[in-house]
Amino acid sequence: MQAERETEPTQVHPLDDEPTSVAEPEPVPSPRGRGLGLNRHLGSVLLSFLAVLGAYGALDYGFYRAYTDAQAGRDLGSLPQATMIALGAAGACLLVAAAAGRISGLGPLLAGLVLGAAPAAWVFLDFPSYVSRLDDVPELWDHTTFGLSYVSFALYPVVAGLLLGAAIAGRWRRRPVTT
């Protein structure tokens, strides 16, 4: 009898509402997708392409300056500070392009294929036409676009490998476990 009184809710005052049992809300399922969809992919593609093109511009400037200083005998065993800054900026741009794989693997994948593997195939298959096509590119300032012709046989495969590796690593990373 005493146990029944303890489990039964009691009314304290006649004007109080009847006590109600508290029902737990149903759990809301968490969305499986990462959201943003197309914007995420387009942002990664745009960031990767712009970063690789910026890296190529900085590398072109740095390589051409280093080459002309070496040819003129002005290097004296060290590179000029502007050349080192340009090469460091190129490395930072390539790091940004690879890091875009964290947003979406599509950006580094397309940039690696279009701006790395395709030019590498062109250089390996027909180097003279590649150099003549570089001669057609308008110069931005003081003989740029000639630095890439000296190192293109090594640069394009390295960029392709870096970006394709970043795309593959971004594609098969472990998904977070949701409970």
The pTM of this model reads: 0.72
CB 96 within 8 A of CB 58: no
Burial of 114 (0-12, 13-18, 19+ CB in 10 A): middle
Grouped pLDDT means (10 residues each) for the chain, 179 residues? 58 66 73 68 94 92 82 74 91 95 91 95 92 76 68 91 88 60
Give me the pLDDT at residue 4, please: 56
Domain ranges of the chain: 41-171
